[in-house]
């Protein structure tokens, strides 16, 4: 389980990385099918400039520092940018009926901007809406699945 404001990277083929439910948060899964390296980020907020000290100790809290840390750890285990697959879920509009704050949309827009700067292609996304969902990445197969609150059946976001 990847906790709120945290990340994990592994090449252990017996592992399935899972997020806690993502409301406005973004879950980002990365996978290199050649190196069999994968990672999962559960990020709360888009930009670490609001609290650089916290970003230094908990990079997963913020999308910018979390995505950088996720990529760095994946590289250390042998992941290559040219074979990296990127998946994103979450970014829902939760507990904000006016849409005034819409952290979910801000998170997703920041993610698109960051991946553009890093020249990373988003393979699949399931963002927005008003429902919590959890993200799972199976390191043996590279399959990415979603579990929506209140639904028994899981949705496959990517099946290699």
Residue written as token pair 């908990």: 58
Q: Is residue 97 predicted with pLDDT exceeding 70?
A: no
Give the domain ranges of the chain.
Answer: 6-158
* Average pLDDT score over residue span 137-147: 97
3-class SS string, 28-90: EEEEECCCCEEEEEEECECCHHHCHHHHHHCHHHEHHHHHHHHHHHHHHCCCCHHHCEEEEEE
pLDDT band at 99 (very low <50, low <70, confident <90, very high): low
* Average pLDDT score over residue span 65-83: 97
Element (H, E) at 26: strand 26-32
- Domain 6-158 sits in CATH at 3.30.1330.200
pLDDT digits (tens, 9 = 90+) for 112-129: 999 999 999 999 999 999
Express as a percent the part of the chain with pLDDT over 70.
Answer: 96
Cα separation values, 142 from 35, 70, 131, 159, Å: 11, 16, 24, 7
pLDDT at position 109, please?
A: 95
Residue written as token pair 């040219």: 82
């Amino acid at each position: 389980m990847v906790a709120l404001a945290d990340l994990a990277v592994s090449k252990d083929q017996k592992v399935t990385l899972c997020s806690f439910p993502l409301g406005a948060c973004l879950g980002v899964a990365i996978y290199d099918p050649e190196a069999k390296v994968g990672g999962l980020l559960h990020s709360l907020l888009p930009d670490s400039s609001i609290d650089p000290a916290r970003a230094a100790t908990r990079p997963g809290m913020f999308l910018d520092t979390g995505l950088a840390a996720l990529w760095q750890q994946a590289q250390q285990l042998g992941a290559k940018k040219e074979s990296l697959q990127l998946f994103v879920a979450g970014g829902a509009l939760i507990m904000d009926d006016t849409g005034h704050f819409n952290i979910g949309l801000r998170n997703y827009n920041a993610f698109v901007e960051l991946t553009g700067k890093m020249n990373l292609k988003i393979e699949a996304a399931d963002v927005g809406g008003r429902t919590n969902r959890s993200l799972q990445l199976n390191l043996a197969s590279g399959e990415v699945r979603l579990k929506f609150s209140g639904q028994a059946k899981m949705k496959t976001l990517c099946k290699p």
